[in-house]
């Protein structure tokens, strides 16, 4: 019988912290989605707040990848979901926004309509998660937990520049942090 090796995080599990940041770029969302599922299903008294931050070039992935997880996070009082798209809308199409400039749709064009049709056909009132254009202000988002260093964990997976940015900010605030890397 062949057994192991088994992967594990090099810092404490996320549910042992009061505030958790899950930061992902593109397909780096995969391990962050796994941690989000864990936090949703194994909620502990210690964990008070989770910031799920995901940036992607393709806004359609926000409603097409992990749709049940995205809806569960939106419905949970534990989670604050921050989604950002780094691409521009196709010419001639505008992204819907609220008065304060916050987007109200997760994708422009047929992708959002398709996601809504799928939700309607499933008998669910689920709506595509809102996203913002551009890159997240990680300094501001991580700064929300400044002064609580021993209670904060930051997990990141994505492009090198994103990982370096998150690492620098986490170290500045003395947060516990961990990065995942996909290697080909």
pLDDT, one tens digit per residue, over 58-76 is 988 988 999 999 999 999 9
**Per-residue pLDDT at 16:** 86
Mean pLDDT of 10-24: 86
Mean pLDDT of 16-30: 94
Share of residues in the chain with pLDDT > 90 (%)? 53
Mean pLDDT of the chain: 79
Longest dimension (CA), the chain: 61
**Per-residue pLDDT at 127:** 64
**Per-residue pLDDT at 152:** 95
CA of 99: how far to CAs of 96, 108, 129, 134, in Å?
10, 18, 17, 18
pLDDT at 162 over 50: yes
pLDDT at 119 over 60: no
pTM confidence score:
0.76
**Per-residue pLDDT at 15:** 82
pLDDT at 122 over 50: no
Strand arrangement of the beta sheet that strand 49-56 belongs to: 132-133, 79-85, 49-56, 19-25, 152-157, 176-180
Provide the pLDDT confidence category of residue 39 given band limits of 50, 70 and 90.
very high
H/E run at residue 56:
strand 49-56
pLDDT at 101 over 50: no
């Amino acid at each position: 019988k062949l057994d192991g090796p088994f992967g594990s995080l090099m810092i404490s599990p996320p549910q042992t912290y009061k505030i958790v940041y899950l930061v992902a770029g593109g397909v780096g969302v995969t391990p962050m989605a796994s941690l989000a599922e864990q936090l949703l299903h194994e909620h502990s008294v210690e964990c008070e707040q989770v910031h799920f931050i995901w940036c992607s070039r393709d806004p359609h992935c926000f409603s097409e990848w992990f749709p049940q997880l995205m809806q569960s996070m939106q419905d949970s009082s534990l989670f604050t979901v921050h989604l950002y798209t780094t691409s521009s809308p196709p010419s001639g199409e505008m992204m819907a926004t609220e008065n304060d400039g916050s987007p109200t749709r997760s994708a422009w064009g047929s992708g959002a309509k398709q996601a809504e049709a799928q939700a309607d056909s499933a008998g669910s009132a689920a709506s595509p998660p809102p996203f913002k254009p551009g890159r997240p202000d990680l300094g501001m988002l991580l700064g929300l937990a400044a002064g609580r260093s021993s209670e904060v964990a930051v997990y990141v997976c994505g492009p090198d520049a994103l990982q370096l940015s998150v690492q620098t900010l986490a170290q500045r605030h003395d947060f516990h942090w961990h990065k995942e890397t996909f290697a080909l």
